[in-house]
A and B are shown apart, each in its own frame.
Chain A
Amino acid sequence: MWVAPPLKGGSNKIMGSDALIYSVLIYGLVNGAVIMLTSLGFSLTFGLSGVANLAHGGIYLLSGCLAWILLNTLGLPFLPAAVITMVLAGLLGAGVYWLVLQRVRGLALSEMIVTFTIGIGILEFLRWAGFVTYDFNLPVIIKGSLTIAGVIVDYQRLLVIGVGVLIAVLLWFFSHHTKIGLALRGMAQDEYTALSVGIDSDWAAALSMALGHMIVAMAAIMILPLGLISINVGYDVLTMVLAVTILGGLESTAGLTLASLILGYATAATGMYLNPQWTQVVYLAAIVLVLALRPSGLLGKFKELEERV
C-alpha cells in the first residue's frame, strides 16, 4: 500500500520489539481508517442505488489531480480548492448517471462495463496527460506530528482517522435516520415499490452517485497528501475496495469497518515485518482465503440477501 509508514522492514534492528508492536498497533489503525475512507464512497453508491461504481479508482485520482490543479495552477487556498473539487466530483457523478448510466439502468452487466471503462478511461487519460511524475503531491492539512508510545504519528494521519470515523457515522445516520436516506435505501431494495410510493428512481440514483463521488473526492484530498499521486494508486484503490467488500460484504457498514480494520492491521504488520511490497499479496491472500472459507464475507449478510432472490 502506498501509505506506508515512514519506517521500513529494515528498521526493526534499530527499534526495540515493543516499539515495533506499538507502531503496528497505531499504523494498523491508520491504515484501517485509510482503507475505510477510500471504500466508503463505493459502498455508499452500491448500498443506495445498487450501482457498482467501478470508476471509483479513476474518480479518486481525478479528484486528487483536480485539487492539485486548483491549488498549484490556479493558486487557490486549500479550503475553497477542496470544496470545489468535491462539488465537481459530485457533478461528474450525477452527470455520468444522467448521460450514460440511466440508459443502461437495470442491465447489471452493462452498468459494470460502463463504469469500468469510464474509470479506465479517466486513469489512462491522466497517465497520458502526464500525472505520472513525482512532482505531484497535495499539501497536508495540518503539519507536524506527535509521539504516542514512542511511535511518531503525524497529525494528518490522525485527521484521517477522525474524518473516517466521522463520515462513517454521518453516513450511517443519513441512510438510517433521514428521510432521503431511507428513501434511497428503499430504492435499492425494491425499485418498483419505491416508485409506487413516489420516489423518483433516477433522481435517487443520480444523488447516490453524486454523494459517492463527493466522498471519494474527500477521501482523495485527505489521503493523497500522505503519499504521491501516481496512476497505480487509482488501480490500487479498486483492489482495496474489492478486498474490503469481499471481506466485509457489500452492503453492511459494520462489515466494512471490521474488514477495513483487519486489512489495516494485516497490511501494517506485513509492511513492518516484511516489506511494503507484500501488502498487495496480503490483499490477494485475504480475498482468496475469505472466498474459500466463508464466501458470504465475515458478517455474512449478503448470503441472506441472495437466498431471498
Chain B
Amino acid sequence: MDSGPILRAVDLCKDFGGIRAVDRVSFELQKGETLGIIGPNGSGKSTLINLITGFVKPSGGRIFYQGRDITGIAPHKAVMLGMARSFQMPRPFYNMPAYKNLVIPLFSPRTRRLKGGRYGDRDEVAIHLLEDMGFERDSNVPYQPAGVLPHGYVKRLELARCLALEPDLVILDELFSGMSMSEVAGVLPLIERIADEGKTLIMVEHRLRELFRVVDRVIVLNFGRKIAEGAPDVVMANPEVKESYLGSEVEFSA
C-alpha cells in the first residue's frame, strides 16, 4: 500500500468568481520527501494548500492521498487521515493559555485514536511539546494567554499545533513570514528534525534560502500554473522562474 506516492494531485483547478487561482496543477510526493512550493504573491500557493487539505473545494482535478481519492474531502477528515497544516495567518485561541491551545489538537479524534492517545495528562503533554518548540518550561510563557504572545511564539505555537496531531504529512503555509532572522534560525532545526524523522513535508515559503536548506524538491507557481519543478538549484536557473521571481531571485543569490 505504501509503495505509491503519499500525495498525488492531478490537474487541480480552482476558480474564484472567474479568476483562475489554481490552473491544472499536477504533482506527486513520495513518502518521506520534503517539497517546497514557491512563487510570487498571488500565484495560488495558499489556495493549493487549501485545496489539498479540504478547506476549499476544487473546481476540477483530483487529489489522491496514499492511493485514496480525497478530492473535496472535509478538512477534519483530512486530519483524520494524517494531514496537518499550519495557517499563513495563525489565529490561536487568544483567550486560552498557550498550553491549552495544544490540548485541543491533543484531544482531537485523530490523536485519541493513535496508540496510547487516550492516556496521560494532556496538559502535561502540551507543556512538553511547547518546551520542545522553545517555550521555556520554567518561565511563564506557556501559561500566558496566547493573545499576548509575541509573533515568533505564535508561529512556534502553530507549528506545535500541527505536530501535536502526530501527522504523516505536515503542510506549513509560510511559517517563516514575519519572523526575524534569529527566530527563523531557532525554528529551522525543528523543521529539519521533522524531515529527519521521516515525516513528509510540504512548505510554502518566500524565504528561499532557509527553505532550500530543508527541501529536496521545489514547485514554482505563477498565475496559478506550475512553471517549473525540480531540485532547488536547477529550478532557480530556469529563465522563466527567474523572470517571474525576479525580486526574490536577487535575494537568493545574495
8 A–B contacts from the bound complex (CB under 8 Å): A304-B16, A304-B17, A307-B50, A307-B55, A307-B56, A307-B57, A308-B16, A308-B56
CB distance from A59 to the nearest CB of B (A): 32
Chain A proximity mask over B1-24: 1 for CB below 8 Å, otherwise 0: 000000000000000110000000
Alpha-carbon separation in the docked complex, A308 to B56 (Å): 7
Min Cβ gap B50→A in Å is: 8
Cβ contacts under 8 Å, B56 to chain A: 307-308
Q: How far is the CA of A307 from the CA of B56 in the complex (A)?
A: 6
A contact residues around B50 at 8 Å (CB): 307
Chain B hits for A307, CB < 8 A = 50, 55-57
A residues 292-306 in Cβ contact with B at 8 Å: 304
Chain A to chain B: the 8 pairs with minimum beta-carbon distance, closest first: A307-B56, A307-B55, A307-B57, A304-B16, A304-B17, A308-B16, A308-B56, A307-B50
Nearest CB of chain A from residue B56's CB, rounded to whole Å: 5
Q: Which residues of chain B have a CB within 8 Å of any CB of chain A? A: 16-17, 50, 55-57
- Residues of A with Cβ closer than 8 Å to B? 304, 307-308
Give A41 Cβ to nearest chain B Cβ, in Å: 26
Give CA–CA (A307, B16) in the complex, Å: 11
The distance in angstroms between the C-alpha atoms of A307 and B17, with both chains bound, is: 13
Give the docked Cα–Cα distance between A308 and B19 (Å): 14
Q: What's the nearest-Cβ distance from chain B to residue A151, in Å?
A: 41
Q: How far is the CA of A254 from the CA of B146 in the complex (A)?
A: 42
CA–CA, A307 and B54, complex, Å: 10
Distance A307 CA – B55 CA, assembled complex (angstroms): 7
> Using Cβ atoms and an 8 Å threshold, which residues of chain A touch B16?
304, 308
**A304: shortest Cβ distance to chain B, in Å?**
7
Q: A residues within 8 A CB of B17?
A: 304
CA separation between A291 and B56, bound complex, in Å?
20
The docked-state distance in angstroms from the alpha carbon of A308 to that of B57 is: 10
Inter-chain pairs besides A304-B17, A307-B50, 6 sampled, C-beta below 8 Å: A304-B16, A307-B55, A307-B56, A307-B57, A308-B16, A308-B56
Question: In the complex, A304 Cα to B55 Cα: how many Å?
Answer: 11
In the complex the two chains form, what is the Cα distance from A308 to B17 in whole Å? Answer: 12
Chain B nearest Cβ from A108, distance in angstroms: 15
Chain A nearest CB, measured from B53 CB (Å) = 12
Docked pose: A307 CA to B21 CA in angstroms? 14
The docked-state distance in angstroms from the alpha carbon of A251 to that of B16 is 16
> In the complex, how many angstroms separate the beta carbon of B46 from the nearest chain A beta carbon?
10
Minimum Cβ distance to chain A for residue B173 (Å): 14
B57 CB contacts on chain A under 8 angstroms = 307
Chain A residues with CB below 8 A from B55, complex form: 307
Residues of B within 8 A of A304 (CB): 16-17
